[in-house]
Structure 1
Amino acid sequence: MVRVVLGLVVLVVLLAGFMAWQAFSAYRSAQQANTAIGDFRVRLLDRDVPGAKKALSRAQDETGNARAALGGPLWGAASTLPSIGDDVDAARRLTATTDDVTHGALPAVMTALSYVDPADIGLQGGRVDLAPLREASGQLTRAAVLLDDADQDAAAIRAEGLTPALRDRVVDTQDLLGRSSRLARTVSLAGRLLPDMLGGSGRRTYLLLAQNTAEQRSLGGIPGAIAVLRAEDGRLELVRQATAGDVGEFERPVLPLSMAEEGLYGPGLGRFPANVTDSPDFPRAAELITEMWQRRFGETIDGVAAVDPWALQLLLGAVGPVNTDAGRLTGRNAVQKLLVDVYRDVPDPDQQNEVFAQAARRVFDRVRTFPGDPAALTAVLAEGVEQRRIMVWSARRKEESILEDTELGQTLRDPTPDSPRFGVYLHDRIGSKTSSYQRVRITTEPASCGTTTSATMKVQLRSAAPLNRDLPPSVTGIVGRSRPGDLRIQVVAYAPPGWAITGVRASDGRRDLITYKHDGLQAGTRDFTLAPGQTKSLTLTMAGQPISSDFAVRYTPGTKPANVRVEGSGCS
């Protein structure tokens, strides 16, 4: 018996020593892989293809070694132990994900760059060379898909409770893969769409909506300034500018509105150009403004894009400042100057519109002729898309079907099946320019799990308007609808697919909520009036089919970013 016990002790010691050696081997390989991946990136940017291939080969060897070191059955068993199991499991999954990236996504990126040099796809002289993009499109798409898979794998690793060093490594990897995946999606989308959308197969005409988020709408703000863009053989030009007032109002909606659209947003959605962004569905807004434009001017429109001052500020951070009548706009001050200062310094609405139009034109010209690094421009464009401040719609069904599956398309329904995404959209109800004084906090958390899942969503609104109500008339809105300095906001909340709104509470004690079924989603709406310094809230309980993925919230991208907190995840 003693021999058996001693034998077991020796075996345990040997196994512990073997696992310690494997852990050290995995750690050493991971460190060397990080160095090799960094070298790969530098050499790739320097167009040193032979050097990049060698660096990638080293990275693949090291990530493969790390994966093998932690991939055996002993480590699988260790991942179930109560004290170290979470750390072991996280380390195994992290090394596997990194190995997948070095053997999948990175080779696809290198193959794509064998077709196209990033320096060649910049807007040189206002023109993009489309041929390399066509050739690289397949590999760019493959890299984007693989990076997205890796991003999801890494995001599924729970960093909470891990040892500090491992937790930091997990968080850093999640952040890096998240940014890389978003950038890859943007570049892949460009490879698939730009050759045709920039006129590679014939001239195109687009509307560019410059949203003014000072007056809030679901998609951001009113499209006060409109530009006509012409694309042909990779060259993009701004050929005309107008305002929503130039398009004018229509006696009846230009396209039939559903009962939900008319109930939630009113008939003005289809009658007034400034109201098309009331709809949180960008394809719908684009269809409406296209029909209005074509009726008014008889000009065929091939697509619509929209940007807001935050997007312009991001772009200026990459391409440099521009001078306008509102002053020098930079990557730090454009939002303040265009959404706050202009209403203090330029009281005439027509002159304000000219300031917005001029800013859009100057930024467009700077981007169009930007001689710098296209990668920097691509990165800020990806950030603008992620923040939902850049949107694109195509009148061509094939192109639009691609856009609808991306954040760039900004559809009402999440393209991901069964996604538990909540929607919160805000509207200014008095024609004011006060969204810069609005503070928004949205909290979503699960309430119960079972055959039916429920969750609560709380929308808190606070007014930061001056307590003395000292605001110019150009800011306070339509006289008679509210007291000057008040904020009057419509909240429209959407339940996820297959869910319903089952309970309502508000800080003012009212429980009324007008509900509609909009494009298969239940939506509820009510208005709030806030005096300066006042806070009000709306809490909704929603219930529906069981879900396993994390909750998400889509909301109006305002002048001031909303404070959004998602507590917990779906039921798994």
Structure 2
Amino acid sequence: MLGGDGPRRYFLAFQTNAEARGTGGLVGAFGILRANRGRIAVERLTPNNGLAASPVPVADHGRDFRGRYGPGAARMLSVSNLSPHFPYAAATWTGLWERQARTRLDGAVATDPVGLSHLMRLTGPITLPGGERVTSGNVVDLTERVAYARYPDPVARKRFLIEIARAVGEALPGLLTDPARSLPVLSAMVGDRRLQVWSRHEAEQRFLARTPAGGVLPSGPGPFAGLVVNNSAGGKLDYYLDRSLDYELGPCRDGLRSSTVRVRLTNDVPPGTLPSYVTGRLDSPRGQHTPGSNLLWVSLYGGLGAKVTEARLDGDRVPVVRETERSHPVYSTMLELAPGQSRTLRFDLTELASDEPPLVPVQPLARPQLTHVTQDSRGCAP
């Protein structure tokens, strides 16, 4: 994949976790990653408005995908990664680029500001053209909070973000030739889903799909609880979003098991005035919303054959929409969070009996998710 048998080119997406998407965050900037004989270079770094929408879908991810996300998810960069299944987003990104640039790509790679903080453990601090010092410790705050307050002009803000990405990219090629230093950092990025990779070459993609780097939503049997949030307000408040998930797997009887998933979400936005670009409510611009309120599309992905028997929000029953993605049942609801507000969703589930270990994938947002899994000690063989 690094060009051992000829040059390779990949779509490189920089995701902004301040506005949540299924694979992590809105694609705020992108570039082309070129690899040849093991050496890499980043070229054509561009803000997200540099990739035009397509009048027709550039990829076909199937009926369930179209029903859940709509036709725009395969036509527009801004909603291309609502699904947590990274290959869907990657195929759409490459399709959009190839339609616009008329050049074929070999795959796609995605990272985010937290990923950049990992990479800067290799590069060390960098100094921007204006003299500002960027470090592993401050790059996330700079790109996901400070930049919005400092640059009211979106063009200037995006230029600042691309300066940081370009500086890190220019420092990387020489460092990646030292596996003893680079592999532990890359491994940590993959484990945290801060580095996701898709290849157009089938043999490579089959290998990637079996690893965390592939960002694949698995479709095998067994207990499963995946929390995915997508920002529906159009602001940048998910930098302040705290998440916790408690998954309680009960005993089995007659081939079934009763389980409970509790999801707690907190809008930890600080008091005071934030830029309107951060707090804006594009979902209803003329609505009367408290500044700092957020709107999220919250989805729970269950295991194959699982059914939600009841859902409650802060103790009261709440309707949820049931859909399917890659054979997983998905239960979703819209959730508004006022500044400082915490809300709890409880899902009571009936699952198929299985002795497979429970899987709880974590969406890579700005703040880590607190996850707690308990399982009945008597086991649960089907």
- Residue 370 of structure 1, CA deviation: 2.2
* Distance apart, 1:467 and its partner CA: 4.1
Which protein has greater RCO, CA pairs closer than 8 Å, 6+ apart?
A: 2
Aligned to 1:480: 286
Matched, 1:306 2:110: yes
Alpha carbons 1:317, 1:332 under 8 Å: kept: no
Shift of 1:492: 1.3
CA contact (8 A) 1:326 1:337 kept: no
RMSD: 2.0
Shift of 1:228: 0.7
The answer to whether the 8 Å contact 1:215/1:222 transfers is yes
Secondary structure of 1:278's aligned partner:
coil
Alignment partner of 1:286 out of 90, 114, 117:
90
Q: Which amino acid aligns with 1:332?
A: G
Instruction: Give the distance between the partners of 2:127 and 2:213, measured in 1 at CA.
Output: 29
Is residue 448–residue 454 contact of structure 1 (8 Å, CA) maintained in 2?
A: yes
**C-alpha contact 1:229 1:236 (8 A) present in aligned 2:** yes
For the 8 Å contact 1:319–1:377, the answer to whether it is kept is no
- Greater fraction strand: 2
CA deviation profile, 1:353-386 (whole Å, cap 9, x unmatched): 2222222221122121228953232111111100
Partner of 1:295: 99
- Find the aligned partners of 2:341 and 2:8 in 1 and give their Cα distance: 49
* Correspondence list, 1:116-195, <5 A: none
Out of 249, 254, 265, which is 1:461 matched to? 265
What is the alpha-carbon distance in structure 2 between the residues aligned to residue 483 and residue 292 of structure 1? 37
- Whether contact under 8 Å (1:257, 1:267) holds in the other structure is no
- Which of 395, 401, 422 aligns to 2:225? It is 422
Where is the helix percentage greater, Structure 1 or Structure 2?
Answer: 1
In structure 2, what is the equivalent of residue 410 of structure 1? 215
2:312 pairs with 494, 505, 521, which one?
505
Match of residue 238 from structure 2 = 435
Within 5 Å, give how 1:392-403 maps onto structure 2. 392-403=197-208
Q: Which amino acid aligns with 1:287?
A: A
Q: Contact 1:303–1:395 at 8 Å: present in 2 too?
A: yes
Q: State the match for 1:562 in structure 2.
A: 369
Among 486, 496, 501, the alignment partner of 2:303 is 496
Alignment TM-score, normalising by the size of structure 2: 0.92
Q: Please report how far the alpha carbon of residue 257 of structure 1 lies from its aligned counterpart in structure 2 after TM superposition.
A: 5.0
- 2:76 is aligned with what amino acid? F
User: Is 1:382 aligned to residue 154 of structure 2?
Assistant: no
Matches within 5 A, 1:20-39: none
Shift of 1:503: 2.2
The 10-residue stretch of structure 1 (527-536 or 458-467) with the greater mean CA deviation from structure 2: 458-467
CA contact (8 A) 1:439 1:463 kept: yes
Tell me how far 1:552 sits from its aligned partner.
2.6
Name the amino acid aligned to 1:436: Y
Q: How far did residue 571 of structure 1 move?
A: 2.5
Matched pairs, number = 373
Q: Is 1:218 paired with 2:22?
A: yes
Structure 2 CA distance for aligned equivalents of residues 520 and 425 of structure 1: 16
Mapping for residues 223-302 of structure 1, pairs under 5 Å: 223-256=27-60, 258-302=62-106
Partners of 2:356 and 2:65 in 1: CA distance: 29
Between stretches 207-216 and 459-468, larger displacement belongs to: 459-468
Distance 1:321 1:372 in 2: 19
Kept in 1: contact 2:310–2:317 (CA 8 A): no
Amino acid at match of 1:402: F
Check the 8 A contact 1:199/1:231 in 2, yes or no. yes
Measured in 2, the distance between the counterparts of 1:225 and 1:453 equals 44
Deviations 1:200-223 (A, max 9, x none): 111111111011111111111011
Matched-pair contact (CA < 8 Å) for 2:222–2:355: no
Distance 1:425 1:365 in 2: 33
Work out the CA distance in 2 between the residues paired with 1:290 and 1:385. 21
* Distance across 1 between alignment mates of 2:96 and 2:63: 20
Q: TM-score, normalised by structure 1?
A: 0.62
User: Any idea what the Cα deviations from partners look like across 1:117-163, whole Å, max 9, x if unmatched?
Assistant: xxxxxxxxxxxxxxxxxxxxxxxxxxxxxxxxxxxxxxxxxxxxxxx
Q: Deviations over 1:260-292 (max 9, x none)?
A: 323433333112112212111101110111111
Name stretches of at least 5 consecutive residues in structure 2 with no aligned partner.
none
1:96-128 alpha-carbon deviations (Å, 9 max, x no partner)? xxxxxxxxxxxxxxxxxxxxxxxxxxxxxxxxx
Preserved CA contact (<8 Å) 2:176 2:182: no
1:432–1:474: 8 Å Cα contact kept in structure 2?
yes
Equivalent residues of 2:250, 2:375 under 8 A apart: no
Alignment of 1:305-344 (within 5 A): 305-324=109-128, 327-344=132-149
Q: Give the superposition deviation at 1:328.
A: 1.8
1:337, 1:350 → 2: CA distance? 16
